[in-house]
Homo-oligomer: A and B are copies of this chain.
């Protein structure tokens, strides 16, 4: 999605099309749908606006910008295994169809964790946010979208001081994210020592130059 937005912005700039963020987002969503078959719309939205957003799928999707007190240092660890979104989505869908009541309890629990995380961010309570991420990771594990490599990255991060760590994206491979307000470099170093790739960045800094058009 980030690549789609970047390419659309580059074409917009080159051909002087004067696309609005809304149009860029819509075009990126269309390219996401072509790639994944059934895109949620969250990735293209985040890549377009570059902000912290609470997102709920729908037509139109519900979006709410989340303000945070200060940028949060994070470490991204790469499992080295490709994450196949379409495959993970269809696995979860099949399991849900066989066990709707059970799976819907897990989905509801994840929803509640997300809403509690918004409160934790509002309170700048990063310890609580970390705990919520750790529990969320367990629920994703219950949905069988984790992997041994992701679990190893997550354990290395927690053991080296991350307040919380979870897979990010579709799972089954791909990346994990750890929040590390102290010692992000230490976490990244430990990950690299175990043979994985890691990089340090932060979330919560606005990266879009245009002002947000996302409704509050």
| Bound: A136/B143 CA distance, A | 10
User: Is A32 among interface residues, defined by CB-CB distance under 8 A?
Assistant: no
Output the least CB separation between A155 and chain B (Å).
5
User: Is A134 among interface residues, defined by CB-CB distance under 8 A?
Assistant: yes
Q: What count of chain A residues pass the 8 Å CB interface test?
A: 29
Q: From the candidates B106, B135, B148, B158, name the one contacting A102 in the complex (CB within 8 A).
A: B135
User: Is A151 among interface residues, defined by CB-CB distance under 8 A?
Assistant: yes
| Bound: A201/B131 CA distance, A | 38
User: Is A119 among interface residues, defined by CB-CB distance under 8 A?
Assistant: no
Residues on the B chain within 8 Å of A128, using CB: 99
Interface residues of A in 53-106 (CB under 8 A from B): 95, 98-99, 102, 105-106
Complex: chain B residue closest to A105, CB-CB: B109
User: Is A124 among interface residues, defined by CB-CB distance under 8 A?
Assistant: no
Q: From the candidates B102, B105, B146, B158, name the one contacting A131 in the complex (CB within 8 A).
A: B102
| Bound: A147/B136 CA distance, A | 16
User: Is A140 among interface residues, defined by CB-CB distance under 8 A?
Assistant: yes
Question: Do A146 and B142 touch across chains, with their CB atoms under 8 A apart?
Answer: no
Known pairs A105-B109, A142-B139; A99 contacts B131 (CB<8 A)? yes
User: Is A160 among interface residues, defined by CB-CB distance under 8 A?
Assistant: no
How many monomers of this protein are in the complex?
Answer: 2
0 or 1 for each of A140-158: is its CB under 8 Å from B? (1 = yes): 1111101110011001001
| Bound: A9/B77 CA distance, A | 52
User: Is A44 among interface residues, defined by CB-CB distance under 8 A?
Assistant: no
User: Is A138 among interface residues, defined by CB-CB distance under 8 A?
Assistant: yes
| Bound: A160/B120 CA distance, A | 41
Residues on the B chain within 8 Å of A139, using CB: 138-139, 142
Residues on the B chain within 8 Å of A106, using CB: 135, 138
Known pairs A95-B131, A102-B135, A135-B106; A147 contacts B141 (CB<8 A)? no
Q: From the candidates B105, B137, B147, B155, name the one contacting A142 in the complex (CB within 8 A).
A: B137
Complex: chain B residue closest to A153, CB-CB: B148
The 3 A-B pairs of least Cβ separation, nearest first, read: A138-B142, A148-B152, A138-B141
